[in-house]
Chains A and B, each alone.
Chain A
């Protein structure tokens, strides 16, 4: 059973701080990793993808991947109240066809 785990939260950070979201996965053969943001009552939207070990930066967002330890993280710098949402980690399975989603971490950025 392929699993993706996340701390359900809520994770509360003050405005301007760094929010750190973590995700672990069980399938060592996983190749692709994604972070989705879901606002309440809305559909998930892709914010970051990462395929290689190390860091990938896009604006205020940095994704970090460590395949040896089977974890992927998302850092949000200078957090804003508009970042308050549920963040879903998704992992592409070994066959590359299906994404397995974690349960999501609810982030609350306090003004």
Chain B
């Protein structure tokens, strides 16, 4: 298995632009998580899905953030409009009973 695949690896965008991050979970994993990591706040859970259904989005910072999982093999995290304080590494993870497997992350820089 190729693991959790995220794209793009790096994204630099201007303030106000829309940003879309993509994730392909491991086949057979029925949970998918989006995390954001910064030096100041560590690893923060944004939202997670079970069987493609959003279960808890209480970590989504504000309405500018949205996430979808149209099928078991694909999820997106969208930020519109983006702001400099959104700069962080965004991780997608999928899990089975034994634990999480993280993707390589997307390093987002909003200038």
Chain A residues packing against B (C-beta within 8 Å): 34, 36, 42-46, 49, 88, 90, 97-104
CB < 8 Å A-B pair total: 42
- Contact assessment for B99 and A98 in the assembled complex, using a CB-CB cutoff below 8 Å: no
- Are A43's CB and B104's CB within 8 A? yes
- Interchain residue pairs with CB less than 8 A apart (24): A36-B100, A42-B104, A43-B91, A43-B102, A43-B103, A43-B104, A43-B105, A44-B91, A45-B102, A49-B98, A88-B43, A90-B99, A97-B48, A97-B50, A97-B55, A98-B33, A98-B45, A98-B48, A98-B56, A99-B95, A99-B100, A101-B45, A104-B42, A104-B43
Which residue of A has the minimal Cβ distance to B105? A43
Contact B102 A44 (CB under 8 A): yes
Residues of B near A98 (CB, < 8 A) are: 33, 45, 48, 56
- Which residues of B approach A to under 8 Å, CB–CB? 31, 33, 42-43, 45, 48, 50, 55-56, 91, 95, 98-105
Additional 8 contacts, C-beta under 8 A, given A34-B99, A46-B101, A98-B56: A43-B91, A43-B102, A44-B43, A46-B100, A98-B45, A99-B95, A99-B100, A100-B45
Interface of B is mostly: strand
**How many Å from the CB of A87 to the closest CB on chain B?**
12
SS of A interface (majority): strand
Which residues from B are CB-within-8-Å of A36? Answer: 100
List chain B residues, Cβ under 8 A from A88.
43
Chain A residues with Cβ under 8 A from B48's Cβ? Answer: 97-98
B91 near A101 (CB under 8 angstroms)?
no
Query: Does B43 contact A46, Cβ atoms closer than 8 Å?
Result: no
How far is B31's CA from A42's CA once the two chains are assembled, in angstroms? 22
Tell me the bound Cα distance from A57 to B48 in angstroms.
31
Residues of chain B within 8 A of A42, CB atoms compared:
104
Chain A residues near B105: list those with CB within 8 A: 43
Q: Which A-B residue pairs are the 7 nearest by beta carbons?
A: A43-B102, A103-B42, A46-B99, A101-B43, A44-B102, A43-B105, A34-B99
Q: For residue B55, which residues in chain A have a CB less than 8 angstroms away from its CB?
A: 97
